[in-house]
Each structure stands twice: as C-alpha cells, then as structure tokens.
C-alpha cells in the first residue's frame, strides 16, 4: 500500500489517512511520528518508508549506549540522511562524525549512498586494534 506523506506544516488535521496495521506498527516501532493527511497540506506520493538497522561499534556504542537501533526512514533516503537522524537523536555522535566511516551491508560506502529496506548500516569509528 502506498503511504501518503505530507510535507511538514502546522495544520489542523481534517482527516486521518488510512493505513495498514503493519505500517502503523512499523512506524511506532521506528519511533517515527506518522504524518497525517490534511486537506490543506501539499502531498506527495513517495512510497513506503524503509527500515534500516544501524550498528554501533566502539566509541559509537559508548556515545549512544546502544549496540544497534532500527530506524524508519523515508524512501530514497541516503546514508547521510540516516546520519542526520542519528545525530539529532544522539548529539554526542558529533564527536566522531568527521573521523568515522560507514559500511552498508558489510561494504564501505560514501554518505551519498541511497538506502533500501532492511539495509544494515554500520558506524565505524577510528580503528584501534591489532
């Protein structure tokens, strides 16, 4: 089912968009506030949101307190979009942002890489092994 996502604008809700039970649960699980359809808002049909699993290692684990997290992202989101969301939720990640690299599905990738549903994104801080 195509999910209609309105652009951000403060408007009174006039109607609720129908949604599947799975989509509602997924949105809740991902901690994302579902946007509601209103007659005054611009709308664009963008397709279903995607679920991305993010892995934290080393300093990233210390800064977030987590080993991993699942994010619900808009379709066509990039790794950079994902990082923006993570920085918003975990501002302390700023400490390693300029020195870390990203890996997508076990391969190093640039931030411009477009994400797909069920992708696994790893935050890789500076290495200190051996």
Partner 1 sequence: MVAEEGEVAEDLIEILEASSMPIDLARYVNHVCDPVVGAIATFEGTTHDTFGEKCILELRYEAYVPIALWHLRAICSDARIARPHHRLAVAQHLSTVLIDEASIFVAASVVDRVDTLEACYILIDEVKVSVPIWKKV
Which residues in this chain contact partner 1 in the complex, by CB under 8 A? 55, 57-59, 103, 106-108, 122, 124-125, 127-130
What are the phi and psi torsion angles at 40 (to 5°)?
-90, -10
Distance CA 108, CA 128 (A): 18
Nearer to partner 1, 39 or 70 (CB): 70
Smallest gap, in angstroms, from Cβ of residue 24 to partner 1? 33
CA angle centred on 68, ends 83 and 82, rounded to 5°: 15
Three-state DSSP at 1 gives coil
Nearer to partner 1, 73 or 122 (CB): 122
Smallest gap, in angstroms, from Cβ of residue 8 to partner 1? 35
Tokens (6 digits) for 21: 């039970």
Distance CA 104, CA 21 (A): 29
Smallest gap, in angstroms, from Cβ of residue 125 to partner 1? 7
Nearer to partner 1, 35 or 121 (CB): 121
Nearer to partner 1, 97 or 108 (CB): 108
């Amino acid at each position: 089912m195509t999910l209609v996502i309105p652009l951000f604008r403060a408007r009174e809700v006039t109607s609720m968009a129908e949604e599947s039970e799975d989509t509602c649960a997924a949105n809740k699980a991902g901690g994302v506030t579902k946007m509601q359809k209103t007659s005054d808002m611009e709308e664009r049909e963008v397709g279903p949101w995607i679920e991305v699993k993010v892995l934290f290692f080393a300093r990233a684990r210390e800064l977030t307190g987590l080993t991993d997290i699942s994010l619900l992202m808009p379709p066509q989101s990039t790794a950079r979009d994902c990082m923006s969301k993570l920085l918003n939720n975990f501002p302390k990640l700023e400490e390693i942002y300029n020195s870390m690299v990203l890996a997508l599905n076990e391969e190093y990738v640039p931030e411009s890489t477009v994400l797909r549903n069920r992708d696994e994104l790893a935050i890789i801080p500076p290495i200190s092994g051996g």
